[in-house]
A and B are shown apart, each in its own frame.
Chain A
């Protein structure tokens, strides 16, 4: 009994130590976010006059309402919608396209199959920034500046996702495709009825990554949206910063920052459940 107590004590002290370490780590990361939140709930004077307040003030509703409806250049509400459309468009588009291309590469024998796969793979080495000028030229010629299609289409193909789905499809036993064939399923039917439900977990994981990728796009929206009503929120925050001698409206900027963080956080939390459930079910 005594020995058991000793063991429990030993374990609990180690537990406290690890917890302490983690709490310090979390506090370290969380403090700037907390400061941003505090700054979004006080008025301009309170921020400018040192010391900076560490507890939320009473201007929460006022600042957020101002940010959502008017903002600095464009209402944050509109920018949130723009970002949402862009991020969802990119994430869903990338998943749809890469699922189909991986399906083609793995399950069909057509001339140039390997060539196409390696071509897709090669594009992994070309980030948006490298091809941004020619892409801009193309989009401008199509008249897609200041439009959702202009925001989404150039970013909609994903070599990474195609590669990931290809690897996953290759682990699916061939007999499954053969059984479906004997059952009379045509290729697309097999894709929708069997392959797609089996890829659920991978789709959820990719959706999280790709949504955040789309949400955080900065350079591309900055380049092709000149109309403030088409601004996305991540570039919008930067544009709120004053140029020259203007004073910054820090409470509204901070409120915008906090608002910009909420959708990705919600996606991560919401998808995490699906993700973990998918992992636990692990089936093939």
Chain B
């Protein structure tokens, strides 16, 4: 049949993406309030790797961008804020540094999520690129309004339990610049009766 691609014939006929294929990237906006760190991080790792897409190929960096806001409001179960410790070594003798989760949250709130996600990504050369597409902010505001002008996905408090976005945000047209607006006439201060 003309126009119909024939897929029969073993793996040599399978349609493969070209070298360096990444596909379209979209942006995900996640509110981290009252989220358990590990569960949230595993879902974020899936998005960063791109394993939620049918076009996923393990050797290509085909994941999405993820913005996490309110990262200071994540939760740990149990007594992990007191008991969990983060270690790193400076390389010098006796250079093991240890910080409790509670102190790390006070010092660098975004690193709680960042370290959890980093540990859940595949340990290969793509990990650095994938981490660069994770944008964590401790407060509710973020500098990515320009990236969210197109369609993006936002996730409310129920995700990732249902493992689907709470809403698919439709395309928002950027505001048309109108030029300098005339200043509103100053209102006279209301007189108290």
B and A form one assembly: no
Name A's B-contacting residues (CB within 8 A). Answer: none
